Amino acid sequence: MLRTIIVILLLVLSPPIANALEKDYAPIPSAQIQKLLSGKTIIGEYRCMRERTKTYNFSEFHHPDGTTDYVEGPVKSRGIWYTLGKHKICYKYPNDANMGTGISCFWVYKQDTCYYSYGIDAMSLNGPRRFEDWGARWIIKNTGGSCDEPVS
């Protein structure tokens, strides 16, 4: 009963989030992420503006050999991508001060034709703490997908 009330409230307040709850929003498995991204470009936006480039937008080509070509405004970087565990995709950009020295890993969820990435700070043991706290959202180039209205 409580779940029904929550879903009804979310339908009124936020249809995409309510749909996610109804569809048992689940992370995409690592094996599926590998097949999904190998040889493809993602085009997306960050939830928060990137201070270094004053933009929300990015794109990243995922080479089958595990390397990437990342673009965010004037920043271009060659990176490495791989999956980790059952549900995570990770990126690192060695030898590029613009991208930091760490490894960034994300859980990826799909809502309609839009993919949402959540970092560890947004996750609980049962998935995202709040569905609207995605770090980045993206589509696969040339698939006809789209996300909600862009961040402004």
Q: Per the confidence metrics, is the pTM higher than 0.75?
A: yes
Q: How do the pLDDT tens digits run along the chain, 152 residues long?
A: 544 444 444 444 444 554 444 456 899 999 999 999 999 999 999 999 999 899 999 999 999 999 999 999 999 999 999 999 999 999 999 988 878 778 999 999 999 899 999 999 999 888 898 889 999 999 999 998 899 765 54
Contact 77, 101 (CB under 8 A): no
Name 82's bridge partners.
90
**Secondary structure element (H or E) that encloses residue 5, with its range:** helix 2-13
Contact 109, 92 (CB under 8 A): no
Q: What's residue 144's pLDDT?
A: 86
Count of CB atoms situated within 10 Å of the CB of 79: 19
Q: What's residue 35's pLDDT?
A: 96
Residue ranges of domains in the chain, CATH in brackets: 26-140 (2.40.128.640)
